[in-house]
Amino acid sequence: MSYRADPRLMSELKKYGAVNVESCFNCGNCTAVCPLSTEEDSFPRRMIRYAQIGMREKLLSSKELWLCYYCGECTATCPRQADPGEFMAAARRYAIAQYDRLGLARRLYTSAGFNALFLIVLTAALGVFLYSFHGPMATDALQLFQFMPSEVIHNLGVIAGILIAGTVLAGMINMIVRVGNEIKFVKGAPLNWLGAFWETIGEVLVKRRYRQDCEIDAIDQPWYYQKWFVHASILWGFLGLFTATALDYLLELLGIKPTGAWVPPWYPVRLLGTLAGILLMYGATVVIVRRLRQADEAAAHSTPSDWVFLALLWLGGMTGFALEVSIYLPQPGAWSYWMLLAHLVVVGELLVLLPFSKFAHAVYRIVALYVYALKPLPEQVAVAGTAE
Ligand code: SF4
Ligand code: SF4
C-alpha cells in the first residue's frame, strides 16, 4: 500500500498537544525504555517518525498508539525533552478526532473556548429540558421520582445510549478498517479469537500489562496509589455504577422493587452502587490532585477536555453521594430535589461527551488490545509457513 506524505501533519498534531516533539532526533531511547514496546509492536519512536515525515495514514492505522498507557517513562529519559509520552497522548486525541465523523472531537480537543461554550449550552439545555418534566417537591417525605418521573429518566437514557453507541461504533469501524489494512496476518496461521477475547478482558479489567510492566511509579508507591490501580478504580467505579443502575431498572421490570423505593444501605444493588461510587470518586480525586500538583511527566500536561472530563466525573460522584445521604436523613430538605436535577445534568453531560472523552480512549484501547492479542504465536506462524 502506498501513502501520500502530508506536510501539515506535524503542525496539526501540535494543536492536540504534541508541542515539543520537533526536537526529537530519533535516537530511539524512548522505544528502548518503554516497558510495553516490543520488537514487532515498537513505539513511540516509530510513531514520532511517522509524524515527522507526514505519514498520516500510517499513524492513524497504528494499533501501537493504543498500547501506550502514558506512564511517562520515555519522557523522563528523552535526551532532547521531546516529551514522547505526551506526543503519544496527543496522537491518540488526533486519531479520535479523525475517526469521529461529526467533527466535534476536533473542536473539543483543540479549543478551550469551544469546550467552555459547549459545556454551558449543554448544561442549560439539559437542565431546562429535564426541569420541564418536573412534578411537585413533597416536603413530608422525600419523593425524588415524583419530582422527576423515572420513565423520563429511563427513556432519555435509552435514547442517549442508542445515539452514543452509534457514534462510538462509527468511530470504531473507522479505526478497525484502518488498523485491519495495516496488519499483516500470515495466511493459514490460526487466529485465537476466543483467547484474544479473554486476554483483552483480563487486560482491561485488571490492567495486567500496566500493572506488571510499567514500573515507573511502582517504586516507593503503595499499591492503592499506583497509576494502574487509580485508573482501574475509575473504570471499576463506572462499570459498577452502570451495573447497579441496570439492575435497579431490571428489579422494577420484574416487579421486585419500584425505582426510588426506600431500601436499607446494605440492600445489594444499593451497596454495589455505593462501593462503585467510592471507587470512582477515589480514582477521580487522585487523578485531579496529581494533575493539579503536576506530580509526574504524565500529569504535567492537561488539556481543557481532560479537565472537563475529570470535573464531570467528580461532580457526578459527589452529587450521587449527596443524594444518597439525603435519602437516609430524617428530615430531607428541598435541596435533595435540586441535587437530583444537578446529578442528572452532570450524568447527561458525561454521556454526551462519552464518544469524545477519555471513555473513547478506553473503547479504542480495547479494540487495539484485541487485535494485538489476535496475533498468532511465532510457532503457529512457523507451522503455517511450513504447511505452505
Ligand atoms: S523522543 Fe527523545 S528519546 Fe525518543 S527518539 Fe526522539 S530524541 Fe530520542
Ligand atoms: S508513556 Fe510509557 S507506555 Fe507510553 S510510550 Fe512512553 S514509556 Fe511507553
pLDDT one-digit tens code per residue, 308-327: 999 999 999 999 999 988 88
> Which domains can be identified in the chain, with CATH numbers?
9-99 (1.10.1060.10), 111-379 (no CATH)
| 44 CA: nearest ligand 1 atom | 4
Q: Ligand 2: which residue has its CA nearest to atom 3?
A: 68
**Which of 25, 34, 53, 64 for mutating ligand 1's site (highest number of atoms within 8 Å of CB)?**
25
Count the residues in the chain. 388
The region that residue 241 occupies, defined by phi over 0 for left and psi between -120 and 50 for alpha, beta otherwise, is alpha
User: What does the pLDDT read at residue 276?
Assistant: 95
> Counting ligands in written order, which one lies closest to the CA of residue 51?
1
The candidate with the shortest Cα–Cα distance to 320, out of 355, 371, 273, 354, is: 273
**Is residue 364 classed exposed, middle or buried when 0-12, 13-18 and 19+ CB atoms within 10 A define those classes?**
buried
User: What does the pLDDT read at residue 384?
Assistant: 47
For residues 372-384, average pLDDT: 59
| Residue 60 in this model has a pLDDT that exceeds 80 | yes
User: What does the pLDDT read at residue 300?
Assistant: 85
For residues 269-285, average pLDDT: 95
For 161-291, list the strands marked E by DSSP: none
Give the torsion through C-alpha atoms of 359, 363, 365, 368, to 10 deg. -170
C-alpha 342 to ligand 1 mean position (Å): 46
User: What does the pLDDT read at residue 388?
Assistant: 42
pLDDT tens, residue by residue, 149-166: 988 988 888 898 899 989
User: What does the pLDDT read at residue 1?
Assistant: 60
The region that residue 293 occupies, defined by phi over 0 for left and psi between -120 and 50 for alpha, beta otherwise, is alpha
| 298 CA: nearest ligand 2 atom | 1
C-alpha 314 to ligand 1 mean position (Å): 35
Give residue for cell 498507557: 69
| Residue 377 in this model has a pLDDT that exceeds 70 | no
Please say whether the beta carbons of 358 and 92 come within 8 A. Answer: no
Contacts of residue 373, Cβ cutoff 8 Å, sequence gap at least 6: 192, 195, 196, 197, 199, 200, 203
> Counting ligands in written order, which one lies closest to the CA of residue 88?
2
**Which of 10, 23, 26 for mutating ligand 1's site (highest number of atoms within 8 Å of CB)?**
26
> Counting ligands in written order, which one lies closest to the CA of residue 89?
2
C-alpha 21 to ligand 1 mean position (Å): 8
| Residue 387 in this model has a pLDDT that exceeds 50 | no
For the chain, list the strands marked E by DSSP: none
The dihedral through the CA atoms of 178, 182, 187, 192 has a sign that is: negative
Q: What is the DSSP letter of 22?
A: G
User: What does the pLDDT read at residue 378?
Assistant: 55
Pocket-forming residues, ligand 2, beta carbon under 6 Å = 34, 36-37, 43-44, 68-74, 84-85, 88
Give residue for cell 435540586: 338
- The Cα 311–Cα 291 span in angstroms is 12
Our measurement of the distance from residue 339's CA atom to the centroid of its chain's CA atoms, rounded to an integer in Å, reads 26
pLDDT tens, residue by residue, 216-267: 655 677 888 888 889 899 999 999 999 998 999 899 889 888 877 888 999 9
CB atoms within 10 A of CB 38: 12
User: What does the pLDDT read at residue 299?
Assistant: 84
> Counting ligands in written order, which one lies closest to the CA of residue 34?
2
> Counting ligands in written order, which one lies closest to the CA of residue 46?
1
**Which of 10, 78, 81, 86 for mutating ligand 1's site (highest number of atoms within 8 Å of CB)?**
78
Instruction: Look up the pTM and report it.
Output: 0.86
C-alpha 11 to ligand 2 mean position (Å): 22
User: What does the pLDDT read at residue 215?
Assistant: 63
**Mean of per-residue pLDDT scores for the chain:** 87
pLDDT tens, residue by residue, 174-227: 888 888 777 766 666 667 778 888 888 877 887 777 777 776 655 677 888 888
For residues 263-281, average pLDDT: 93
| Residue 369 in this model has a pLDDT that exceeds 90 | no
pLDDT tens, residue by residue, 125-136: 999 999 999 998
The candidate with the shortest Cα–Cα distance to 22, out of 78, 104, 106, 102, is: 78
| Residue 124 in this model has a pLDDT that exceeds 60 | yes
Q: Reduce the DSSP state of residue 5 to 3 states and report it.
A: coil
**Which of 29, 30, 36 for mutating ligand 2's site (highest number of atoms within 8 Å of CB)?**
36
Q: Ligand 2: which residue has its CA nearest to atom 8?
A: 34
Q: Ligand 2: which residue has its CA nearest to atom 1?
A: 70
- Give counts: helices (H), strands (E), the chain: 18, 0
- HSE, CB side, 13 Å, CA atoms: give it for residue 139: 1
| Residue 11 in this model has a pLDDT that exceeds 50 | yes
For residues 116-131, average pLDDT: 95
